[in-house]
């Protein structure tokens, strides 16, 4: 077993992105609620999110080993480079380390770390291919990285990053449904019970479009929590991406809609950074 197998199992690139998202959440909260910031705290925030995200990826591969043997045979477990038992133990070690590190932050960060760790395990084992519940779970987990970063400053930080959490959650839910629509054939072959399989492609498109529209309608609200007018200017471009994604979805282009939703999330993040720092 080589070091690259460890990094591939936990998907280090995705872990780093999640860690940086949490750091951005801390940065947004810092500009609005505090005049001092601990570098040690920022390092801990990044490390906790990195480790817990990696643990979630590893345990996801543990539960998906049989499916990956068909769809992704070169993944570490089906390729034989990593055993299932090792992946499980490695995942639990990462979960434990991430939760332990969160104890050095504050009680809110610890609670979020425990809840998210439990959800990642439940999602991988039970919720991944359920109707809508799995999509909502992933939406929460994605948005909560920003919330976790804001929690470094306690409840004021939670409040300041709640808007970014909400918009990220809604955008992720819409994108996850779009991805389910795109993957309908493969999921059907695997016996999955996703929304487009149970309710039909057209109804799934309507649900994803409705969730995206809610994100557009709620997008101005974070401005009233203390962000500058630059937030409204930049978030307008994010809303445009959302509307393009909705239009593509209605026209049956699930793949294009998913890409536009991803772009909208990036622009929305830029809007929060601009609103906090400009």
Q: Are 17 and 53 contacting, i.e. CB atoms less than 8 angstroms apart?
A: no
pLDDT band at 186 (very low <50, low <70, confident <90, very high): low
Q: Are 253 and 145 in contact (CB under 8 A)?
A: no
Percent of the chain's residues with pLDDT above 90? 21
Q: What is the CATH number of the domain that holds 17?
A: 1.10.357.140
pLDDT band at 120 (very low <50, low <70, confident <90, very high): very high
pTM over the 0.75 mark: yes
pLDDT given for residue 191 in this prediction: 65
Mean pLDDT on 163-189: 79
Residue 271: per-residue pLDDT? 84
Q: CA of 6: how far to CAs of 10, 66, 82, in Å?
A: 6, 19, 8
In this structure, the number of other CB atoms found within 10 A of the CB of residue 217 comes to: 11
Contacts of residue 254, Cβ cutoff 8 Å, sequence gap at least 6: 178, 179, 181, 182, 205, 248
Span 121-168, pLDDT tens digits: 998 888 777 778 888 998 999 999 989 999 988 888 888 888 888 888
180 or 278, greater pLDDT: 180
Each residue of 1-12: pLDDT tens digit?
566 767 777 788
Helix, strand counts (H, E) of the chain: 13, 0
Domain encompassing residue 128 = 3-277
The band of 104, judged by pLDDT with boundaries at 50, 70 and 90, is very high
How far, in Å, CA of 165 to CA of 143, rounded?
Answer: 4
pLDDT at 35: 58
Could you identify the residue written with the tokens 């809007």? 271
The tokens for 151 are 């929690």
Helix axes 254-277, 229-250, angle to 10 degrees: 180
CB 15 within 8 A of CB 141: no
Mean per-residue pLDDT over the chain, rounded: 83
Task: Mean pLDDT check: name the lowest of 98-107, 117-126, 179-188.
Answer: 179-188
Rounded Cα gap, residues 213 and 58, in angstroms: 34
Which pLDDT does position 182 carry in this prediction?
A: 74
Q: Distance of CA 153 to CAs 29, 38, 51, 255, Å?
A: 7, 10, 21, 38
Count of structural domains within the chain: 1
pLDDT digits (tens, 9 = 90+) for 253-275: 777 887 888 888 888 888 888 87
pLDDT in tens, 230-245: 888 988 898 898 888 8
Percent of the chain with pLDDT over 70: 90
pLDDT in the model for residue 189: 64
49-97, pLDDT tens digit by residue?
999 999 998 898 888 776 666 666 777 777 777 777 888 888 999 999 9
């Amino acid at each position: 077993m080589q070091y690259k197998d460890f990094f591939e199992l936990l998907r280090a690139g995705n872990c780093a992105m999640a860690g940086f998202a949490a750091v951005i959440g801390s940065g947004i909260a810092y500009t609005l609620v505090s005049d001092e910031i601990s570098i040690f705290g920022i390092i801990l925030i990044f490390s906790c999110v990195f480790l817990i995200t990696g643990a979630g990826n590893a345990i996801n591969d543990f539960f998906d080993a049989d499916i990956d043997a068909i769809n992704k045979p070169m993944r570490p477990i089906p390729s034989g480079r990593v055993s299932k038992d090792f992946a499980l133990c490695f995942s639990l070690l990462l979960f434990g380390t991430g939760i332990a590190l969160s104890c050095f932050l504050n009680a809110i960060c610890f609670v979020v770390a425990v809840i998210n760790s439990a959800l990642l395990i439940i999602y991988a084992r039970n919720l991944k291919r359920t109707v809508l519940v799995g999509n909502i779970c992933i939406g929460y987990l994605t948005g909560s990285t920003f919330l976790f970063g804001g929690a470094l400053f306690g409840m004021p930080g939670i409040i300041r990053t709640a808007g970014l959490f909400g918009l990220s959650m809604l955008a992720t839910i819409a994108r996850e449904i779009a991805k389910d629509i795109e993957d309908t054939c493969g999921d059907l072959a695997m016996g999955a019970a996703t929304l487009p399989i149970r309710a039909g492609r057209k109804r799934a498109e309507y649900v994803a479009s409705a969730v995206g529209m809610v994100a557009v309608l709620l997008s101005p609200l974070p401005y009233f929590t203390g962000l500058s007018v630059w937030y409204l200017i930049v978030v307008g471009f994010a809303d445009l991406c959302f509307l393009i994604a909705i239009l593509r979805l209605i026209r049956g282009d699930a793949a294009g809609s998913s890409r536009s939703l991803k772009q909208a999330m990036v622009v929305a993040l830029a809007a929060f950074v601009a609103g906090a720092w400009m």
